[in-house]
Chains A and B, each alone.
Chain A
């Protein structure tokens, strides 16, 4: 069985633990981390906005790109260590939600953590990227709470 775990800062341990708890340490475990191109592009833009400074050698987005690659490596190291067994690592760059959907093709299960409003049950508990991935995933999805799930009392009263 092929299991794909989407590693996101803050919420990934819940995904890794879910894989372990359900015994899905199956044949093939993959960890995916997507570097957000938007952050680097925004910093490159801020530097370009400094009119007249020329010299791309000082462009901070290059330092950011290097740093974000090592950050991705470290996150996947930590995830693999928590998983307790070797896993295939995928580091992608671009639009987060689309990269995750593309990587989920042909996978038996994709494990995703909620990343929105975690204080109550409901659709808002999914952030923008997670919403897209859940809606567009070409495979079964296991959606986990990164912390203890809110109680059923947090449901809105029926209209």
Chain B
């Protein structure tokens, strides 16, 4: 009982620290000592902690490779070039621009992960819209939304996917096949709602100030990304961990960047976000302690069994709610063991919930939202009512339609 309470308390400390970010310290500062305490106190057996780390280490390495690959693509000018391509293709028409932004953001999120969309693509999209003399709001919001709901397709699209992918026992190809329809459905429903919601903003044409700059796509970066994608497929067929394909892609671009002195070893390590990776490992150990001390069986009772449509909907809704309490990362760690026991269909439904759910608030969870409200109470707080309304309008239908699509996929491809 003491171990149960202490490990839950420690989990709260770790999550609280990650939400509050005191003095801007890395989240690992709280998570690593907490992991050490749960092991030292015997709340989790050291062998179990080790096996948890061993299970998560390849996931984390995979993520690091993708983060570095995305940063190197940015250094090569991929994102600015994509901005120029979308600008040209839009021909100054806001609706056509929104369509292009949806295509690019969904593809970047799927291939280079949601971090790339939020950190690297969003500012480019803002500048692209503004340089066409268009209101940037719908296009920027499309990026922030698709970073979540557009991350269903590949195991690399989201850290939650990598975790679920490992737990589901599916191959890279099978995962992608199952999630293709839900991904298309999610992006499609978002698009329709965006078109209606921003009807007026999109109705005003361009003032035609400024011509979009002519930038060619960086061929090397595009080819490497394409080869990495092909590598995912090949490694999947050959039964090799697809992380090697990501590592190879990142390595080729890294060597090129080092030779051309556009990157340093330091900048590459920094792009790999080592403290973040350490945080994920430590959080995994703490969550394992909480699970081993009773929460696991409690969650097991909550997660519906079977892959009937109502069961999948219930699982996705539960995951979305849990993701909105603190964050989708702890939510997926807590839900996965029970979901994995119930089969890959349930794992993928959890994934839809934790990936789409965070759009309900603009910061991914209520805890972060409340904290940011407290932080900004004394300043002129920007009015985010519109963004919250957009979240409330999109999340329920996107959830339902993509779970429906998953159900169809499961029927079609088995699982």
Instruction: Report which A residues bind B (CB closer than 8 A).
Output: 8-13, 36-43, 45-56, 58, 60, 63-64, 67-68, 71, 74-75, 78, 94-95, 115-118, 127, 146
Across the interface, B329 reaches (CB within 8 A) one of A51, A56, A75, A115, namely A51
Across the interface, A49 reaches (CB within 8 A) one of B21, B137, B358, namely B358
Docked CA distance A43–B329 (Å): 20
Q: List 5 A-B contacts (CB under 8 A).
A: A9-B207, A40-B382, A47-B118, A60-B118, A68-B136
Residues from chain B with Cβ under 8 Å of A40 in the complex: 382
Docked CA distance A98–B363 (Å): 25
A58's closest neighbor in chain B, by CB?
B119
B364's closest neighbor in chain A, by CB?
A49
A-B contacts counted at CB < 8 A amount to: 163
Docked CA distance A27–B89 (Å): 43
Residues from chain A with Cβ under 8 Å of B54 in the complex: none
Residues from chain A with Cβ under 8 Å of B209 in the complex: 74-75, 78
CB <8 Å contact, A54 and B276: yes
Residues from chain B with Cβ under 8 Å of A118 in the complex: 203-204
| Chain B interfacial residues counted at CB < 8 A | 63
Residues from chain A with Cβ under 8 Å of B329 in the complex: 51-52
Top 8 nearest A-B pairs by Cβ distance?
A: A49-B364, A10-B204, A37-B382, A45-B362, A46-B144, A71-B130, A41-B382, A63-B123
Interface residue B273 (Cβ < 8 Å from any Cβ of A): yes
Smallest distance from the beta carbon of A87 to chain B beta carbons, Å? 16
Instruction: Report which B residues bind A (CB closer than 8 A).
Output: 18, 21, 24-28, 94, 114-115, 118-120, 122-123, 126-127, 130-131, 133-137, 140-141, 143-144, 147, 200-201, 203-207, 209-210, 273, 275-276, 279-280, 283, 327-330, 358, 361-365, 368-369, 372, 380, 382-384, 386-387
CB <8 Å contact, B122 and A64: yes
B127's closest neighbor in chain A, by CB?
A67
CB <8 Å contact, A47 and B133: no
Residues from chain B with Cβ under 8 Å of A75 in the complex: 133, 209
Docked CA distance A71–B27 (Å): 35
CB <8 Å contact, B368 and A46: no
Across the interface, B123 reaches (CB within 8 A) one of A8, A9, A10, A60, namely A60
Docked CA distance A55–B273 (Å): 9
Docked CA distance A109–B215 (Å): 43
CB <8 Å contact, B144 and A42: yes
A54's closest neighbor in chain B, by CB?
B26
Residues from chain A with Cβ under 8 Å of B210 in the complex: 74
Residues from chain B with Cβ under 8 Å of A117 in the complex: 200, 203
Q: A9-B207, A54-B26, A54-B27 are in contact. Are A41 and B279 (CB under 8 A)?
A: no
Across the interface, A10 reaches (CB within 8 A) one of B28, B134, B276, namely B134
